[in-house]
Amino acid sequence: MSSNVLIQAKSLCKTYELGPVTVPALSGVSLDVCQGDFLTIVGPSGSGKTTFLNLVGVLDTPTSGGLIVFGEDTATLSRKQRADLRLRTLGFVFQAYNLVPVLTARENVEFVLELQGLGHERRRRAEEVLGQLGLEDLGDRRPNELSGGQQQRVAVARAVASRPRLVLADEPTANLDGENAELLIDMMQRLNREENITFVFSTHDPRVVRHAKRVVTLVDGQVSNDEIRNV
């Protein structure tokens, strides 16, 4: 495997069992994600975007097919090894932010660093990354004292604070207005360029798709188009 391939998905399939009904969510997705990609996954509702991100994020397991994440064959990993792999290499941004309500913005960021075993350096790192995202004055606020756009920037700060090589984001701009969506994507692009963090994110928003270097379209759980663009 070439060292700049971070994710290798091969004929990835996922079905969900809903009582007697089998729902196909992914039906044979083969896709490599490379170091430096700024890749968006688009496609109609129900096409498998979230399912794909959950598999790549080792949050869920495929029904069949192969998935190699940072050189590790995910099929062979124990529960603990999967958690370690996530903690070492991945950052997540969810549509609904998923910030811890009783913690301040800074504590939300520090929390992940604590899980990683970081000691005194935690506070400084949290402040540095909040600053990078234009949140230096808001570190003491709790999520309900922040706007949607600010909360989503805290969620990005939390995802990148541990210096992951890959950030997965499921519709990160879904709850943002146009201006905040652009701001968030600008910041993700800067982290992609300057910190060499690879991004894979799903979206329905054409303003966001515009900024992607690579656009993968899913239809009915399959890749219907994979386009590299000059942006």
Question: With binding defined as CB under 6 A, does residue 49 bind ligand ATP?
Answer: yes
Taking the complex as a whole, the smallest distance from the CB of residue 219 to ligand ATP amounts, in Å, to 10
Tokens representing 88 are 């070492």
> How far is residue 230's CA from residue 6's CA, in Å, rounded to a whole number?
21
- Strands laid side by side in the 166-170 sheet: 90-93, 166-170, 198-202, 38-42, 214-219, 222-228
C-alpha of 46 from chain center: 18
Shorter beta-carbon distance to Mg ion: residue 14 or 49: 49
48 binds ligand ATP (CB under 6 A): yes
Q: Which does 47 bind (CB under 5 to 8 A by kind): ligand ATP, Mg ion, none?
A: ligand ATP
CB of residue 170 to Mg ion, shortest distance in Å: 6
| Contact (Cβ atoms closer than 8 angstroms) between residue 9 and residue 60 | no
- What's the sign of the alpha-carbon dihedral 174, 203, 220, 199? negative
Which of 28, 46, 66, 148 binds ligand ATP (CB under 6 A)? It is 46
Distance of alpha carbon 166 from alpha carbon 192, whole angstroms: 10
Question: Least Å distance between CB 162 and ligand ATP?
Answer: 25
> 11 to 30, contacts with ligand ATP by CB under 6 A?
16, 18, 23, 25
Interface ranges with ligand ATP (CB under 6 A): 16, 18, 23, 25, 43, 45-51
